[in-house]
Amino acid sequence: MTRRAEIHSGATLTPTKRELVVDWLARQDWFTGDPAVIEQVAAFRFVDPEGEVGIETLLFNADGFVFQIPQTYRAEPLDDDVEGLIGVLEHSELGTRYVYDAMTDPVYLAELERVIREGDTAVETVSLRDGSVKPAGMEIRGTGVAEGVATVGELEVVGLLTDERYEDAPGRLLGRLVDDAGTREVVLAVLR
C-alpha cells in the first residue's frame, strides 16, 4: 500500500469539514448531544488504490465521549447515494467535493477490509504541496486475520469509542488515541 497521501495544506474549504459534520450530526437520530460543541481530537487517512477518492476518518469529542466519522471525498457524486451524502464543499484547489459517510462508499469499505485483513496501517505520512513530508496523525493498524480463520466479510465501524475489545472478531482495526483521557488503544472497526 502507498503509505503517503498528498494533501493541499494551504487550501481553503467552504464550508469547513467541521461545519459539514456539525450540520450532518444535527440530522442524525443517533446523535443526542449538541453538535456545535464537538471538538476534533484526531484523524487518520487511507489511500484509494486508484487515487480518485479521498478517505479520511475524523474523531471528535462531544461531552467526554469520543466518536468517529469516516468520510470520503469525491469529485463526482456517488450514484443514487443521497442517504450517505454528508454534504458538498468547495476546495480551493480541487473544486467541488462530495463528502460521504464512508460506510456507504465501496472504495472505503474495500480499503478498510484490506487494511484489517492484511494487518496493514493507515497512511503514515502526508506530502504537502511544497514538497515537505509530515506525520499523518493517529497511529492505526489492522490486526490481520489468521490463516484458516473464516470471515463473512461483515465490517462494523465502532461509532462511539469505548474500552470494548471485540476479542471475538477475527480481525480488528486498532488505533492509538491521545486525548484528555490519556493515551489508549481503541478498537475502531471489526471484521467478522
Q: Beginning with the edge strand found earlier in the chain, give each strand of the sheet holding 39-47 in spatial order.
A: 13-14, 85-91, 95-101, 65-74, 54-62, 39-47
Q: Within 10 Å of residue 1's Cβ, how many Cβ atoms?
A: 15
Q: What is the pLDDT of residues 18-70, one digit of tens each?
A: 999 999 988 888 888 889 899 999 889 898 989 899 999 999 998 888 889 99
Integer Cα distance of 138 and 124 in angstroms = 9
The position carrying cell 484523524 is 43
Instruction: Count Cα neighbours of 12 within 13 Å in the Cβ-side half-sphere.
Output: 2
Cα angle 72, 74, 75 (rounded to 5 degrees) comes to 165
Q: What is the pLDDT of residues 139-168, one digit of tens each?
A: 899 999 888 787 878 899 998 888 788 888
Integer Cα distance of 87 and 18 in angstroms = 11
Tell me which residue of 21, 68, 42 sits closest to 188, measured CA to CA: 68
CB 96 within 8 A of CB 76: no
Give this prediction's pTM. 0.87
Q: Could you state, in order of their start, the residue ranges of all structural domains in the chain? A: 4-137
Distance set, CA 27 to CA 60, 69, 153, 184 (Å) = 17, 14, 29, 30
Q: What is the pLDDT of residues 91-115, one digit of tens each?
A: 988 889 999 999 999 999 999 999 9
